[in-house]
Amino acid sequence: MKKLVLFLGICCSLILLASCGTQSTEQTNSTTSTPENGGVNTEETTTDSPEVIKIGVLAPISGGAAAYGEDAVNAYTQVVEAYNALNTPKIELVVEDSKCNGKDSVLAYNKLVNVDKVQAIAGATCSSATIPAAKITQTSKIPMISPTSSAPSISDIGPYIYRYYNDLDAANAVVNYLQWKGATKIGILVENTDYGVGYANAVKERFTGEVVFDEKFDSDEKDFALIAKKVANISEDIDALIFVPNNENSALGILLWLQKEGNTLAQLTKNGKLIGSEGIISDGVIEQVGDDFNGTLSTKIIDDMEMFNDSGKQFMETYTSQHPVQSSELFVTLEGETMSLIADAIKDGNYTSEFIQNYLQSVHEGNPREGFFGSYYFKASGDAVGLNFLMAEIQNGKLETLK
């Protein structure tokens, strides 16, 4: 009897040992960083990939910037559908409304991270929504890529926020133009947001002339009669008015009032005095303001579709065949590139926030990425290097690069 008990005990021990050995083999599969995997350290990744990886989206689904949010979601969705048709694991987008403000963005961010358990976030669209969420993500360590947030202060937040352009670059282009033009006096009119104030400060720091008019307006303002009168009073005394709204609704509110106030708008634009940020240019603004908008100047990053590579051209052709562009082709392209970058990280086997972050950090000066708009890389600040600002003018309803 004792021999039988001893024999059964030995058998059980052998079974347990075999079981433990099998479990350990299935859990991990160590690989090393190689050129083939983009230089990404993939040690201790799981061999059994998840069926679905959730990626969060922060975008203004409602409010004054909703048109920008709709473009963003459509661009992200187009990339994900193309990826999911050919690859596993699948990507699931979880969309939350940032409403283009910090309070709602933080609430949306917390839900995405703590409830939905997303592994990366595309967005937010507006700097005012991106900044507070990006600060939290430095602790949560969920990488964020904001395709269109450009406030200079984003560069100082930390390593888990990435974006494609900085208003400091736009301000340099504007100030260089003003100096070339011989401008000595300017006015500044901006929406009171991180984006607007950051842009204005960047211009003021660089412009060597006099700022004779410096006005801010709140995002919820509706009556711009007083501001229009102020602009009318100084329009003849300035060489340029720098106008930085946060979205199409804000831009229209000011521009339509300037038309009413002695047609101040036409006086500014026909003399090349109105210089707007990228946010001023949209099909909706051009259509509603009409011919008085011709002569408006703005910065422009992508000269024309010829600057896109084949994948970028194909992306935009597909997009415009299915959706109207409500913001700008630039914004839609950057949004498409944002999700394409995340999808490529997942395609290369980076399934968690940690490994997606490693992948993003591998896009550096020594290992640039060929994106929709050409070659670029990220600096340590998360700012992309590769896009150049140009000055452009609205001519016959289209934004044309100044030669």
Of the three residues 249, 270, 300, the one that is the final residue of a domain is 300
- This prediction's pTM: 0.80
- pLDDT tens per residue, range 232-258: 999 999 999 999 998 888 899 999 999
Instruction: For residues 172 and 274, state if they share a domain.
Output: yes
The reported pLDDT for the residue numbered 21 is 38
Q: What's the number of domains the chain is made of?
A: 2
Residue 17 resides in a domain: no
288 and 369 co-located in one domain? no
Check residue 390 and give its pLDDT: 86
Residue 129 lies in a domain: yes
Name the token pair of 18.
């075999």
pLDDT higher than threshold 50 for residue 82 = yes
Domain end: 268, 300, 332, which one? Answer: 300
Q: What is d(CA 240, CA 198) in angstroms, rounded to the nearest whole number?
A: 19
Residue 170 and residue 195 in contact, taking contact as beta carbons nearer than 8 Å: no
Range with the lowest mean pLDDT among 36-45, 279-288, 312-321, 368-377?
36-45
Residue 24 lies in a domain: no
Q: Are strands 240-244 and 185-191 parallel, antiparallel or unpaired?
A: parallel
Within-domain flag for 398 = no
Indicate whether 154 and 241 sit together in one domain.
no
HSE of 318 in the Cβ direction (CA atoms, 13 Å)? 16
The domain of 112 spans 52-165+307-385
What pLDDT shows up at residue 17? 34
Q: Report which of residues 205 and 285 the model is more confident about.
A: 205
Q: Residue 278's pLDDT is what? A: 77
The residue among 246, 274, 300 that closes a domain is 300
Question: What DSSP assignment string belongs to 330-358?
Answer: HHHHHHHHHHHHHHHHHHTT--SHHHHHH
Say if residue 190 is in the same domain as residue 295: yes
Same domain, 193 and 271: yes
What is the Cα–Cα distance from 294 to 271, expressed in whole angstroms?
Answer: 10
Pair 375, 294 in one domain: no
**Using CA of residue 249, residue 252, residue 258, residue 260, what is the dihedral sign?**
negative
Q: Are residues 200 and 218 in the same domain?
A: yes
Is 273 part of a structural domain of the chain?
Answer: yes
User: Which strands make up the sheet holding 390-395, listed edge to edge?
Assistant: 210-217, 185-191, 240-244, 274-276, 297-300, 390-395, 398-401
150 and 230 together in one domain: no
What confidence score (pLDDT) does residue 190 get?
96
Residue with tokens 């839609």, as numbered in its chain: 332
In a domain, 252, yes or no: yes
Residue % of the chain over a pLDDT of 70: 87
Q: Do residue 177 and residue 295 come from a single domain?
A: yes
* 390-395 vs 384-385, strand pairing mode: unpaired
Same domain flag for 152 and 115: yes
Helix residue spans in 28-117 (DSSP H): 66-84, 102-110
- Residue 22 confidence (pLDDT): 33
Residues 69, 144 within the same domain: yes
Domain annotation covers residue 47:
no
Is a pLDDT exceeding 70 seen at residue 15? no
Distances (CA, A) of 47 to 22, 36, 202, 353: 13, 18, 49, 17
Task: Check residues 363 and 47 and name the one with the higher pLDDT.
Answer: 363
Question: Which residues is 187 bridged to in the sheet?
Answer: 213, 241
| Residue at 83 is within a domain | yes
The b/e string for 233-256 (b: 16+ C-beta within 10 A; e otherwise) is eebeebbbbbbbbbbbbbbbbbbb
CATH label of the domain that carries residue 318: 3.40.50.2300
User: In this predicted model, what pLDDT tens digit does every residue of 104-122 receive, in sequence order?
Assistant: 999 999 999 999 999 999 9
263 and 203 within one domain: yes
Q: Compute the mean pLDDT over every residue in the chain, rounded to the nearest whole number.
A: 87
The predicted pLDDT at position 19 comes to 39
Confidence of residue 260 (pLDDT cuts 50, 70, 90): very high
